[in-house]
Amino acid sequence: MQKIPTLFVRDPDDRAHVLPEVNPECQWVLDGEGVATRKYDGTCVMFDGRDWLARREVKAGKAAPPGFRPVQVDVVTGKAVGWEWMGQSPFAKFFDEAWRSVGCTWKIGTYELCGPKVQGNPENYDRHTLVEHRTADRFDLPDRSFDALRRWLLANDYEGLVFHHPDGRMAKIKRRDFAGG
């Protein structure tokens, strides 16, 4: 799990927002390549075929939790992004509730843990739920310009969009990335 790059360049004077300038590594999105999917607002978890893991960021200079599996270090912030065993995650209790309520065979891959006690429940789930990322809602967005994506995100009650290229690259944009969003 690499940290997904943001589609547009962050404003150096206000890092919470983006400028109408495409991130060069994400130009493929504006070129019309890839599929747009809904970005769910919860916490990312992964089933690796044997274990369940929770996404974890470790700030620069802080000790990683036991068994932490680093994947990437952000060169700007120094944060290490990776996975920790689900049982030691602060979300373990809510994950257990979601996992037990489904009673199915799980596929290898990533999921979003959403629900009443996760990130303030912006998705408005009645109970804790695991949403498989590969089944996320897809959207046909022929106009992927800064203004069009801003209008679309402000008109729809989603955290954001994740674009998936056939070669595995991804890019994201969140409603809150836009000033006024």
The more confident residue out of 157 and 36 is 36
- At residue 71, what is the residue type? V
Residue 70 lies in a domain: no
Domain count, the chain: 1
Least confident residue range of 35-44, 96-105, 119-128: 96-105
Residue 124 lies in a domain: no
pLDDT at 105: 76
pLDDT at 101: 73
| Mean of all residue pLDDT scores within the chain | 92
Give the whole-angstrom CA distance, residue 177 versus residue 150: 9
50 pLDDT more than 80? yes
Give the whole-angstrom CA distance, residue 171 versus residue 40: 14
pLDDT at 114: 96
Residue 91 lies in a domain: no
Domain, as residue range, for 34: 1-40+137-181
pLDDT at 127: 94
Q: Tens of pLDDT along 91-110?
A: 999 999 998 877 677 899 99
Residue 8 lies in a domain: yes
pLDDT at 179: 82
Confidence of residue 75 (pLDDT cuts 50, 70, 90): confident
pLDDT at 17: 96
Confidence of residue 137 (pLDDT cuts 50, 70, 90): very high
Half-sphere exposure of 63 (CA within 13 A, CB side): 3
The residue count for the chain:
181
Record the tokens describing residue 145, joined without a space. 């310009």
Residue 143 lies in a domain: yes
Q: What is the DSSP string of 104-162?
A: SPPPSEEEEEESTTSTT-TT--SS-EEEEGGG--EE--S--SHHHHHHHHHHS-SSEEE
pLDDT at 1: 60
Residue 24 lies in a domain: yes
Least confident residue range of 46-60, 70-84, 101-115: 101-115
Give the whole-angstrom CA distance, residue 5 versus residue 158: 18
Nearest to 44 by CA among 16, 101, 3: 3
Residue 112 lies in a domain: no
